[in-house]
Chains A and B, each alone.
Chain A
Amino acid sequence: MERREEANISGVAGESGGGAAPDGISLPSEVEAVFRGFRTCEFSTMTRSGVPVAWPLIARWRPEEGRFVLTTSIGLPMKAFNMRRDPKVSMLFSDPTASGIENPLAVLVQGDAEVEDEIHPGTAGVEDYWERIFTIQPGGAIYSANFLTRYMMDMYYMRLHIFVKPRRVLWWPDGDFEKTPRELEAGNVG
């Protein structure tokens, strides 16, 4: 199959102009545009019974760290339990709604997740992530708008931080899943 371009993600840095991480990871600029522009990704974890289950999540790509940051409320902890048992995850970026990107790719990231034990009741350490949430989902501001919603929804802000290090990135030009995806494998990422 011709789809694999390089054995190492860093191999395309010069051609693509994509962002580079300290350890040399570099992605095509159109792939990073999807990471920045898409509102949600379909984030999959492996359940105890071995069924991969996806849920829409907001993800923040940090090219300088070569990893994604996401969070989950302890009110919805199943995905965290899944990742602590099996860190293998995937993130599909396939819904371009409101991304502003013309003819976007669809991108699948497979990687390894780390879930912190600490419960974070604020934005410290992931300020960029919360700014992203409020920017693209302004309606969510209602959860902290007054005493009643703060009382009812405080668990929404009790978050576990999730970091995902990509090991393989596949993308479908024009978001056409009938095509064979192109692929970069990052055998030495992380």
Chain B
Amino acid sequence: MWDNIEKYLPMFESAVLNFADTEGYPYSVRCRLEPDRAAGLLKLEHTNEDELTTGPASILCHSHDDKTWNQKIFVLRGNLERDDNGWAFRPEKFVPSIGTGSALDTVRMLTGMRRSAKTYLQKRDLPRPRIAWDEIEAAKKRALG
């Protein structure tokens, strides 16, 4: 996990920290992360500490270009902690996605999507829907001319 964090985190200027607020709603802020592999922590920087609460949390790093393409995404699951040194995120799992895994990961993601869709339909005893390609093409034409 830490090899991946050290490889991919520098690709992003900042990250999105997600935790639950006192009412149980997700709450997200953007922050900078300073890895401390020896301590197993990512120290939080440049965010308002008044907003934070300890507990289960996640990190999303993502970016895209001006055409919302060339995306890079990964997620970390873990816990938000506070000690005398301040606030930090303790990662427990690295979840690769577009642009942050191997070519094999991309193939796995695509086949995983197909498998998930098939399972979703089978569990509900639904036939595979026929895509309304005419509607898709019409929307495309309205958008792109």
**Interface of A toward B, CB cutoff 8 Å:** 1, 39-40, 42, 44-46, 49-56, 58, 73-77, 86, 88-90, 92, 94-95, 97-98, 106, 108, 110, 119, 121-124, 127, 130-139, 141, 144, 150, 152, 154-158, 168, 175, 177-181
Contacts and interface: CB of A to CB of B under 8 A. Distances in A.
B137 interface: yes
The binding surface of chain A is classed by DSSP as: mixed
A106 B30 contact: yes
Given A131-B139, A150-B131, A178-B46, A75 B69 contact: no
B68, B73, B121: residue with the most chain A Cβ atoms closer than 10 Å: B68
B3 interface: no
21 contacts: A45-B26, A46-B20, A46-B24, A51-B57, A51-B58, A56-B62, A75-B120, A76-B113, A94-B16, A108-B27, A108-B28, A110-B25, A127-B139, A132-B143, A134-B144, A144-B136, A155-B113, A157-B136, A168-B25, A180-B48, A181-B51
A37 to B, nearest CB: 13
Contact of B20 (A50, A106, A168, A175): A50
Interface string B98-135: 00000000000010111011001100001011111111
Contacts of A179: 48
B132 A90 contact: no
Contacts of B131: 121-122, 144, 150, 154, 157-158
Given A52-B56, A88-B24, A97 B144 contact: no
A45 B75 CA distance: 13
A124 B75 CA distance: 32
Contacts of A181: 48, 51
Given A154-B131, A177-B46, A56 B27 contact: no
Interface string B8-49: 000000001011110111111111000000000000001110
